[in-house]
Every structure is written in C-alpha cells, then in structure tokens.
C-alpha cells in the first residue's frame, strides 16, 4: 500500500532493490534531492547549533525495470545518485508518469523509443549525463513544462517534434499535493538558472538543449500552442552546440503570445543577419544571448521595440556598422555586450537613457570619437569595458561620480590628457596602451618597483620571477615526500578494507602522523586525555562531520582536535580531503594542520588552537562593544589574502588551487590580536578534485552559497568571492546573511538585497553597525560596501578576483594613527 517513498539525504549505497516493483501503489519515489535545505538543530533559546551534513546516497547500477513498470508512478526524483547504464528501452507502463529527474548521473546510450508511452510527462531532466545519439521526434517535448537534456553528448538536429500529443497533459499550473511540494524547490532553482532574474509570469516553460553536439539549422520553436499564453514565460536554451544556418529568426515567430521570452543560442555557428523587424516580432523578449556565432550585418533599429529586454549579448560575432540608436530605447536593459565585433562610429550619447544598465561591454571593435560625458548619468553602472578600440579625447572627470563603477577598462585606445585621480577603478591596468594619456601614478609606482613588498610582508613580485632559497627547496621537497608517503598509507588502508571486508584489525593502530613539530610528543593517549576523552565540556564547536575539542597537551600548549564521525558518509574522504589539502597548504592566514590519526574506530585532525573564537561569535558580541574600523579592515584583508592564496596558481606542483566552498563567519577563526585565519577545508576537496571548475553536489551553507553554484552545481573561485562578499557585508553591518528582519521584504530577500536597496536609495549610512559610521572614515566605509556588493554580483564576470579584492582593500588601508 506504500504510495510515497523518500530516502534522500542518507548514506545509502548498493543497488536499488527491484522488490520495490511489488509496491503497486507507489506514486512518488525520491532517491536523492540536491536542493532540500538541510535541517538545523536548535538549542532551547532557538539559536542554531549546527547544520545537518550534506549527505548523499550513492547507488549502483540503474533503475530496475520493475520500478519503471509501476502503473501508478507519477514522480521519480534521483539527481546525482551515481546511477549508470542505459535508460530502459521503454519506460514500461508510464501512462501516469509526470515528473522524472535523472540529472547529474552517469547514464549513457540514447533515449530513442524510451518515453513514447509517457503521455502525461511534463517534467524531464536528463542533464549532465553521458547520453549520445539523436533526439527522438516522438518525445513530447513541445508539451513539457520543463525539458533539460543539457550537458550530454547528443548529436544530430533538434527535430521538429510531434505537436499533436499534448491534449492529455495537465495545464501549466499543475495541481500538486503536499508530498510533491517538497521536491519543487529544484524546479524553482532551475528557473533561476536559466535567466539572470526570476520569471515574472505566473507560468513558465523551460526547454534546455545546451552543451551538446547538436547540428543543423533551427527553424521552429519546440513549444506547443497549448503552452502559449500571456501569463507564460518561455526559455529556449541551445547554447554551446554546433547549430548552423542563418540566424534563427523563426524562433521569435510566437513571441507575442508570451509574457516573456528568453533565448540563448550562444556558442554555435549561426550566420547571416539579425531580422530587421526582430523588435516588432518579439516585444516580450527579455533575454537574448547570441554571442560567439558568425552573425553579420548591422544591429537593426527595431531592436528598440523589444522594450522588455534585460540582457542583450551579441558579442563575438561579425557585426559591423554603427551602434543603432534603437538600443537606447531599452529602458530595462541591465547588460549590453557588443564586444568582439567590427562596429564603427561613436559610442551613442543616448546611452545615458539606459538608467538600469549595469554592464556595458564594447571592447574589441573599431569605435572612435570620445567617451560621452553623459555616461556618468548611468548611476547603476558596475562594468564599463571599451578597450581595444580607437577612442580618443580625455576620460570624462564626471565618471568619478559613478560610485557603483567597479571595473573600468579603456586600454589600447587613443586617449589623451590627464588621468582623473579620483576615478573609482581597481587599478591602472585598464589604461595601458594609451600613449597620449598621462601616466597613472599607481601604475608608475608598480612599474618602478615590481618586486616590492608591502608593509605587511605581501610580495608584489611578478609570479613568474619567484625564486626559492635552498632551505625553501628542501622544505618543499620534504613536504612532498611526506604527502606522498601519507597518500600511499591511506590508499593501502582503504585497499585492505575493500578487499578484506570481513577482516578486523587485531591490534588497533594508535599512531599519529605529525606535520608540524610543536616541541611536545603527540600520542593517541595524550590527545584523548587532554580532551577529557572528548568530553562535551571541552567541545568548542560542532560541524557536519564531527565536533572540535580543546586539548591542553602540556602547560601553555593548547591544540584544537577535530574528531570525525567514523562510518558517516564520506568520513574517510573527508579525512583525506583535509589531510591532502591542509598538509600541503601553508599561509599566515590559514589554520595549520599539525597532525592526524586514522584507525578503524577513531579519526581526528589536530590544528593550532586560536583563542579568539570564530568570526560568527565576534560579530554577535560586537553589539556589546564598539569595534574600530581598522580591526574590521584587518579581518577582511586577512581572509581576502587567504582566499587569494588558495585560488592562486602555486609554484609548488604539490600545492593545488583550492576552492573552499564554505566561506562563512563560523569558519573564520581569530587570535587574541584579531588576526584572522580561514579554516575547514574539508568541503573544498571532498568532491570534484579533477576539474578546473567542479560540478558537484551543492555544499556550503545557505545564505553564503553563490547563486550559480546553488542552481547549476558548477563551482569556481568566483563562488568563494560571492561568499566572501556576504561575510564582508555581515562584518560591516549588524545583520546576518539571512536576518529575520528581512522577512517583511518577501522571499529571497537577504543581506545582499538589503545592501543594494540602501545603495540605490542613497542611504548607505543605514547599513553600518552602530558606532562604525560615526567613527568613520565615511568614504572608505562606503567604498568597502561597494566592494562587498561587487563581490556578490549575479554574473561571474562582474565579480573581481580575490587578488583584486586584496589590492582594493590595501588602497582602503586605515591610517595607523
């Protein structure tokens, strides 16, 4: 009689039992769920103690045929569950199947003749697998509210699907019961993934073909008439394929039947001209990304009739002629990218009408004339890129009044005259290649002393010119040998466990591997004794994989011992992650891994103890005492330095680039002098160790996780930049990332939204914690606030690198007197 079965957020392994096929009334089956918020333990006063760990099931094989033939099955939810093999040749008796999510698994082969009987299927996510072959034109894609085949190896054309099978589908607003509602958060996340802003209509349809090897022209829109409507937003996503032929103007034929439309056909091989009447054809167009194609001709004047456009990206094509004045009519436009074309003429002064514009990219064209002074009217402008053109004249001094401007690049032009010393830019590298422009003071200083170290000891030397002393070389070599031996021991340990599962260690190993000599012998016995046998009275913190305990090994020598829960999901991998990362990483603002122990019954890591507690408690206690700006600045700079080091390409081959993935106040520790140290690298190397940008299950903490990471599971260094920006906002204010006071503003409102709102209202003063604004300096505080907001930009390209953040914070260094 079982109707709903949810086993997500566990540590299950092995095959999915075929015996579930006997549950003939089973309607909802949830095997994994990436976006279910972790539960929180709370004490008697309601304060959060620790978040539940992000645990995931790790199944073997595919979904048994016995399950696919269940007659009442409506929902199967199994993203990133390690499923593999081929999809069933025919999805059995699936007349009632409505939602199927098998994203981020290892399925291979084709999907021909798989879902022909699934007449009610309106949600199908097969993204990020290894599927091949061509799409079956019998798939009911036009009828689907959500279809995602992105990130596979599909080939052939995007077919003209069968539009005549939609009569049996429910309406777009599907009635859901309480069991189904629990799994719709993923639906919302996917909606946000496909656009830089939430859909505004009451209904939405998403068809995602991106990131495959589809070829041929695109001559029709894969949406049925039943799915059209003035309350419907539609996203057609086909970027990153090999589609060719003329620019697909036919995609916009049904646009006026929609509330809003999003089109992404970037990174393909489309050629020809943009339709002259694209504006009247598609007045509801909100997002158009046709970048990195071979589109030629000029930008049509009628583009200005698409008054709903928020993002227009035509970069990396072969467009020529002048920038049409029609673009200036797009009053809601936030991002305009025309870089990498053959555009000529001047930058239109009418761009001043684009009051919502945040990003303007015009680089690598043949634009001439002067920078319009009216650009200074764009009060929301964050990024202005006009490099590699033929622009002349002086840089308008009025640009300095654009407080939001964080990135400015006008290099390799014909600019002349003085350099405005009050221009709000990160550095002067954005003005090189202008022979008639007076030299930038900062650039001259850096050029004259490229290897000079700052007062805090941070080397500014060219990375390519680094040299090492014999002692450093010996230290690096020794560390590499230790890590190699350590890895070999760990591999041997798990190898014996795998191939001798029934064996038991007769004599328990109690060895402790020591990385750093502290002058006192470390043994299993004195660690256990110093923690009071891991007594709660010595517990100084709790995390997803275990508690951390204070241990006084000898008078005056205190350590922190992180005890890992043996047998929990990826406990062993967690150990390896921290050992293999922290054992090699050394920086003054990173916690030091002193040693570790691993046995059948006990696992723990030994760190240096920091008596100042964590930044989360520091921020809480700050309400009871005033904190000087120079202390807050020091903490912000220390953490920025640590992250810049982690993200940097190291000279030592044994030291990897690291994405932390869980930057938050509780993972930032302080000593008694307010020196800050970044800790807890377990999440950073737990998953996705081989990619330049990893595709993993979402780790981290809600409120600090970057939007693109939460939506796509793709993480890069820019995800850490976002988290750092949130921490910086908390450090400046008296609010938490998800402060209860934000509830009145509606769902999704957080500290980032609050900061942006106050800046737009010119009420920055209201953001800072009590006493901080009065103590000043006001300009530095506001500039730091702008930097934090820039770090949390929606677009990855808008966020600075951590190295740029460090540079900017040094420019805002408080006076020592």
- What string of DSSP letters covers 56-122? --EEES---HHHHT-TT--EEE-TTS--EEEPPSS--S-TT--EEE-TTSEEEE--TTSSTT-TT--
Residue 109: φ, ψ to 5°? 80, -170
Q: Are 345 and 320 in contact (CB under 8 A)?
A: no
Q: Are 303 and 327 in contact (CB under 8 A)?
A: yes
Distance CA 450, CA 288 (A): 43
Q: Are 197 and 310 in contact (CB under 8 A)?
A: yes
Question: Catalytic residue among 313, 662, 680, 720, which?
Answer: 662
Structure tokens at 454: 């700052």
- Sequence-separated (6 or more) residues with CB below 8 Å from residue 333: 309, 310, 311, 312, 327, 354, 356, 357
Phi-psi domain of 364 (left: phi exceeds 0; alpha: psi -120 through 50; beta: other): left
Q: What share of the chain is helix, strand, coil (3-state, %, to 5)?
A: 30, 20, 50
Provide the 3-class DSSP secondary structure of residue 617.
helix
Provide the 3-class DSSP secondary structure of residue 672.
coil
Distance CA 391, CA 434 (A): 10
Give bridge partners of residue 669 from the DSSP assignment. Answer: 614, 677
User: Distance of CA 565 to CAs 205, 277, 542, 543, Å?
Assistant: 44, 64, 11, 11
Burial grade of 217 (CB within 10 A; 0-12, 13-18, 19 or more) = middle
Distance CA 724, CA 660 (A): 11
Cα 90 to chain centroid, rounded: 36
Residues at the binding site for ATP are 562
Which residue bears the tokens 């100084």? 540
Phi-psi domain of 393 (left: phi exceeds 0; alpha: psi -120 through 50; beta: other): left
Give bridge partners of residue 287 from the DSSP assignment. Answer: 262, 311
Structure tokens at 647: 């993200």
Q: Kindly give the pairing relationship between strand 593-598 and strand 557-564.
A: unpaired
Q: Is 798 a catalytic residue?
A: no
In terms of Cα–Cα distance, which of 729, 664, 649, 738 is closest to 699? 664
Task: Report the catalytic residues.
Answer: 662
């Amino acid at each position: 009689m079982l109707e709903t079965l949810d086993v997500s957020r566990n540590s299950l392994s092995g095959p999915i039992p075929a015996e579930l096929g006997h549950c003939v009334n089973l309607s909802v089956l949830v095997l994994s769920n990436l976006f279910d918020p972790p539960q929180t333990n709370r004490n008697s006063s309601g304060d959060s103690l620790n978040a539940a760990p992000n645990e995931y099931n790790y199944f073997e094989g595919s979904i048994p045929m016995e399950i696919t033939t269940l007659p009442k099955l409506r929902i199967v939810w199994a993203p990133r569950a390690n499923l593999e093999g081929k999809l069933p040749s025919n999805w059995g008796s699936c007349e009632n199947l409505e939602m199927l999510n098998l994203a981020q698994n290892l399925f291979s082969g084709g999907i021909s003749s798989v879902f022909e009987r699934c007449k009610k299927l309106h949600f199908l996510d097969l993204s990020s697998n290894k599927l091949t072959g061509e799409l079956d034109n019998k798939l009911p894609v036009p009828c689907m509210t959500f279809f995602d085949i992105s990130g596979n190896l599909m080939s052939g054309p995007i077919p003209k699907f069968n539009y005549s099978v939609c009569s049996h589908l429910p309406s777009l607003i599907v009635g859901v019961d309480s069991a189904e509602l629990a799994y719709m958060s993923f639906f919302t996340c996917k909606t946000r993934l496909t656009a830089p802003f939430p859909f505004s209509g009451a209904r939405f349809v998403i068809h995602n073909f991106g990131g495959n090897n589809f070829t041929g022209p695109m001559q029709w829109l894969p949406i049925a008439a039943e799915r059209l409507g003035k309350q419907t937003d539609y996203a057609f996503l086909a970027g990153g394929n090999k589609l060719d032929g003329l620019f697909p103007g036919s995609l916009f034929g049904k646009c006026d039947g929609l509330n809003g439309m999003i089109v992404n056909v970037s990174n393909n091989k489309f050629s020809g001209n943009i339709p002259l009447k694209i504006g009247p054809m598609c007045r509801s167009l909100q997002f158009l990304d046709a970048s990195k194609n071979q589109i030629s001709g000029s930008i049509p004047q009628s583009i200005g009739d698409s008054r709903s456009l928020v993002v227009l990206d035509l970069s990396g094509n072969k467009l020529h002629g002048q920038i049409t004045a029609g673009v200036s009519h797009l009053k809601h436009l936030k991002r305009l990218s025309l870089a990498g074309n053959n555009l000529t003429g001047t930058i239109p002064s009418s761009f001043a009408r684009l009051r919502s514009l945040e990003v303007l990219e015009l680089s690598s064209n043949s634009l001439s004339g002067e920078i319009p002074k009216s650009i200074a009217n764009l009060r929301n402008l964050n990024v202005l890129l006009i490099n590699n053109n033929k622009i002349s004249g002086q840089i308008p001094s009025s640009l300095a009044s654009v407080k939001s401007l964080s990135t400015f690049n006008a290099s390799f032009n014909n600019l002349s005259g003085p350099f405005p010393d009050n221009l709000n830019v990160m550095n002067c590298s954005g003005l090189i290649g202008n022979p008639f422009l007076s030299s930038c003071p900062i650039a001259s200083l850096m050029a004259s002393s490229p290897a000079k170290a700052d007062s805090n000891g941070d080397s500014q030397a060219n990375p390519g010119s680094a040299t090492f002393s014999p002692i450093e070389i010996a230290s690096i070599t020794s560390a590499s040998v230790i890590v190699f031996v350590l890895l070999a021991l760990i591999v041997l340990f798990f190898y014996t466990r795998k191939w001798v599962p029934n064996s038991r260690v007769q004599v328990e190993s109690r060895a402790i591997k020591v990385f750093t000599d502290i002058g006192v012998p470390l043994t299993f016995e004195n660690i256990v004794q110093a923690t009071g046998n891991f007594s709660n009275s010595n517990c100084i913190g709790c995390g997803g994989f275990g508690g951390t305990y204070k241990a006084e090994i000898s008078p005056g020598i205190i350590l922190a011992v992180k005890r890992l829960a043996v047998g929990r999901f990826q406990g062993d991998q967690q150990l390896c992650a921290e050992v293999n990362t922290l054992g090699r990483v050394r920086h003054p603002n990173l916690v030091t891994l002193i040693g570790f122990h691993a046995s059948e019954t006990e696992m723990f890591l030994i760190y240096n103890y920091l008596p100042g507690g964590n930044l989360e408690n520091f921020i809480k206690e700050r309400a009871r005492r005033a904190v000087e700006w120079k202390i807050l600045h020091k903490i912000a700079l220390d953490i920025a330095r640590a992250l810049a080091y982690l993200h940097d390409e190291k000279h030592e081959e044994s030291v990897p680039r690291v994405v932390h993935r869980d930057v938050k106040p509780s993972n930032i520790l302080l000593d008694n002098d307010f020196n800050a140290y970044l800790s807890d690298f377990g999440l950073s190397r737990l998953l996705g160790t081989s990619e330049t940008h990893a595709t993993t299950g979402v780790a981290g903490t809600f409120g600090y996780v970057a939007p693109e990471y939460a939506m796509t599971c793709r993480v890069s260094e820019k995800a850490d930049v976002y988290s750092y920006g949130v921490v910086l906002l908390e450090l400046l204010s008296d609010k938490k990332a998800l402060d209860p006071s934000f509830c009145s503003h509606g769902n999704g409102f957080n500290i980032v939204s609050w900061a942006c709102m106050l800046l737009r209202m010119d009420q920055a003063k209201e953001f800072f914690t009590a006493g901080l604004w009065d103590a000043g300096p006001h300009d530095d505080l506001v500039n730091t606030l702008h930097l934090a907001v820039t770090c949390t930009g929606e677009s990855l390209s808008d966020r600075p690198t951590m190295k740029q953040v460090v540079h900017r914070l040094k420019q805002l260094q408080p006076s020592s007197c």
